[in-house]
Amino acid sequence: MALGIPRLGVGIVRYDVVNGILWWDEKAAAIFGDDGSLPPLELWRERVHSEDIGTVRRMFGDTAGSVGAECVFRIVLPDRSTRYILTRSIDVTTDASGAAVELTGVVIELGHVAGRDAQLASLLDRVGLGFMALDEDLRIIYANSGCLRHVRRSREELLGRVVTEVLPETQGSYFDALCRKVLATGAQQQTRADSLYSPGATIEVTAAADAGALVVHFRDVTAEVTAQKQAEEAHALLLHEATHDSLTGLLNRAAITEHLQRLFEPGVGPAVALFLDVDGFKEVNDTRGHRVGDRILQAVSAHLRHAMRTPSAVGRLGGDEFVAILPDVDELDVDDVVDRMLAAITTPIDVGDERLVVTISVGMAHSTSARTVDELLHHADIALYAAKRRGGNTAVWHE
């Protein structure tokens, strides 16, 4: 009923996305303490509590995507008093491309909701946001339907009961810690965590003190968290693909070269560069085909990776050529690593119809023997061909 709206503390707001203009009706203006000195959008920004700006921004982002986005936030009036506001989108106007051009919503002044205003409680029951109010002893004095659905309890079971007694799952949980921290500090607290009641769901819980009451609201952010995780995984995959060889999974030429360049930065300690290749690989690749050749390179790469110690790096330059870096080691340590490599590489490799045994040759050079990456690789390459001349399956130091 229209006459009931002012008493319920419900106002209408409309935001012109294209021109950045906010309009509100008389009730919304009264809720925000609009005295006409500032445009509504500026006043909105001035009134929203600094700790809740992120929450409101996320809500506007959700609103642009669909009707029904909602959140609870605080506004601070000129007399420094605080009001709790629930805002919910009710309409989104889009252009021909589907982009949002106008957002319409309601703003509701919650006040001290303890079930004393039946109409306001009824209105809160129609929003999807979980909402609960507790007293200083953590007794539940109000819970809306969104909260009841989430915790799978009836209102009769909850009201007047200590939250950790009627909802034992919260005892010692993030919810318990969040509430107690608010009571101890008086500051709003927010966290995201796995739901205690819906396996696989992630919820965002916000708790704040309000004139002797503890106001808690929460929303399901599973889709948001999942999308963020997928974006992070996609970014990580792109980053990995940019720095790793697609066939072997080792560092690619650019990445291993970057590691080599770091050896010549000021303050970096001595290291050893190993230049390796597979003995007789060209003949095997030419006579048995690229499928067998690729399988050999993958097996060799796996053995090289396992033989290396931390911190170290190994990469593929191209073809059957590999480079490994062993930092801050002496020749005895290097010889031990190389012996493990040579032994591991001779493990028979399953190439489908048979098992092949391959060997590698290794050239070794100290970083202190060179002034540039090219010079260091040249020294290791000289040693590599000395190993080849000895018949392969061995390692030689650059003199």
Closest CA to 65 of 99, 34, 115: 99
Q: Name the active-site residue from 137, 245, 320, 350.
A: 320
For the chain, state the CA radius of gyration.
33
Give kind and range of the element (H or E) at residue 60. Answer: helix 53-65
Q: In the numeric block, which tokens belong to residue 391?
A: 């018949």
Q: Annotated catalytic, 320?
A: yes
Q: Is 39 exposed, middle or buried (0-12, 13-18, 19+ CB in 10 A)?
A: middle
Q: Do β-strands 82-94 and 100-109 pair in parallel, antiparallel, or remain unpaired? A: antiparallel
Contact partners, residue 240, CB within 8 Å, separation at least 6? none
Q: Is 381 exposed, middle or buried (0-12, 13-18, 19+ CB in 10 A)?
A: middle
The answer to whether the beta carbons of residues 249 and 294 sit under 8 Å apart is no
Query: How far is the C-alpha of 250 from the C-alpha of 304, rounded, in Å?
Result: 9
Please count the residues of the chain: 399
Query: How far is the C-alpha of 366 from the C-alpha of 311, rounded, in Å?
Result: 17
Instruction: Name the packing angle between helices 281-288 and 290-307 (round to 10°).
Output: 140
Cite the active site residues: 320
